[in-house]
Amino acid sequence: MKKLELGKSGLQVSEISLGCMRMDQLSVQEANRVIQNALDLNIDMFDHADIYGKGRSEEIFAEAIQMSPSVREQMVIQTKCGIRDGFFDFSKEHILSSVEGSLKRLKTDYIDILLLHRPDTLVEPEEVAAAFDELKQSGKVRHFGVSNHNPSQIELLKKNVKQDLIANQLQLSMMFTPMIDAGLNVNMEHDPAIVRDGGILDYSRLHDMTIQPWSPFQHGFFEGVFIDHEKFPQLNEKLQEFADRHQVTKSAIAIAWILRHPANMQPIVGTMNQERLTNIAKATEVTLSREEWYELYRVAGNKLP
């Protein structure tokens, strides 16, 4: 498993991170096997959120791994805050109390990276800055970032926030590519030319923020996994052809496609299946050619101008 640096933080993490959104559905023993398998594959970064399983995902993670200072040192833990029941909340009070909850559930005294989960239109950057200062000074959070944010929302935060924002978690898969489409269709009159994210891909590269693609196997908004889906026969045929060529699985090719982009992205995969994760991890050994990358983009249903 190769490593990448998150932003310009100096923090080196595995190129693939394990998303723990669905961990609440496992038993403690199953969760233990999933986490241990990830660590054996040298996947050392785990993505959480205060809301996953209403807090149960963080809790079972710590229980399963029997969290202790020596266990904690082997891993990089990221969690998120700001989504509440029916609204978003980037107030200082909520950020601080959310982190306290995560620390307690994760049985740790620090979070490596805290992300603001989804933009809050009532955000007051001064409040976020005050919360981040307190969390940084107390050592409770080491690094900060965002999720589902566009460039101007990041700039607005930066008006007051002093810490570097090192990562932005955004939906991206071979079958969900708005951030890529717009840049390929500049000044055209059809749908793919619509900039839906303020140009986040180029912004992230210019500002050294790591994009963390979430749901890298889903099409649409949680509409299902495209691998082996009967609706996408040509894509699956091509994935199989490249999988055979590179001696990996189709899932590994889908992740290699993301890793091939020079934006230095870190996909967050959500499988809780050990065999699948073991196969997906092989993606970091595959470098797709430029031709292969574009062929997959086209067979996924995209047209080039």
Ligand X SMILES: NC(=O)c1ccc[n+]([C@@H]2O[C@H](COP(=O)([O-])OP(=O)(O)OC[C@H]3O[C@@H](n4cnc5c(N)ncnc54)[C@H](OP(=O)(O)O)[C@@H]3O)[C@@H](O)[C@H]2O)c1
Helices marked H in the chain — which ranges? 28-40, 56-65, 69-73, 92-106, 125-137, 151-158, 178-184, 200-206, 233-246, 250-259, 274-281, 290-299
C-alpha–C-alpha distance, residues 190 and 34, integer Å: 44
294 is catalytic: no
- Binder of ligand X out of 67, 156, 184, 225 (CB under 6 A): 225
Does residue 269 interact with ligand X by CB under 6 A?
Answer: yes
Does residue 58 interact with ligand X by CB under 6 A?
Answer: no
Does residue 145 interact with ligand X by CB under 6 A?
Answer: no
Q: Could you tell me if 73 and 45 are in contact, meaning their C-beta atoms sit under 8 angstroms apart?
A: no
Closest C-alpha to 63, from 22, 104, 100, 97: 104
C-alpha–C-alpha distance, residues 164 and 72, integer Å: 24
Does residue 67 interact with ligand X by CB under 6 A?
Answer: no
- Binder of ligand X out of 150, 163, 204, 251 (CB under 6 A): 251
- Binder of ligand X out of 11, 13, 16, 21 (CB under 6 A): 21
C-alpha–C-alpha distance, residues 5 and 35, integer Å: 22
C-alpha–C-alpha distance, residues 266 and 279, integer Å: 17
Measured from the CB atom, the residue of 22 and 205 that comes closer to ligand X is 22
Which of the ranges 58-66, 121-129, 132-140, 212-220 carries the binding residues for ligand X, by CB under 6 A?
212-220
Which of the ranges 91-99, 186-194, 214-222, 233-241 carries the binding residues for ligand X, by CB under 6 A?
214-222
Does residue 120 interact with ligand X by CB under 6 A?
Answer: no
The three-class DSSP label of residue 15 is coil
Which residues of this protein are in contact with ligand X, per CB under 6 A?
19-22, 47, 118, 147-148, 169, 214-218, 225, 227, 251, 268-273, 276
Where in the sequence numbering do the catalytic residues fall?
52
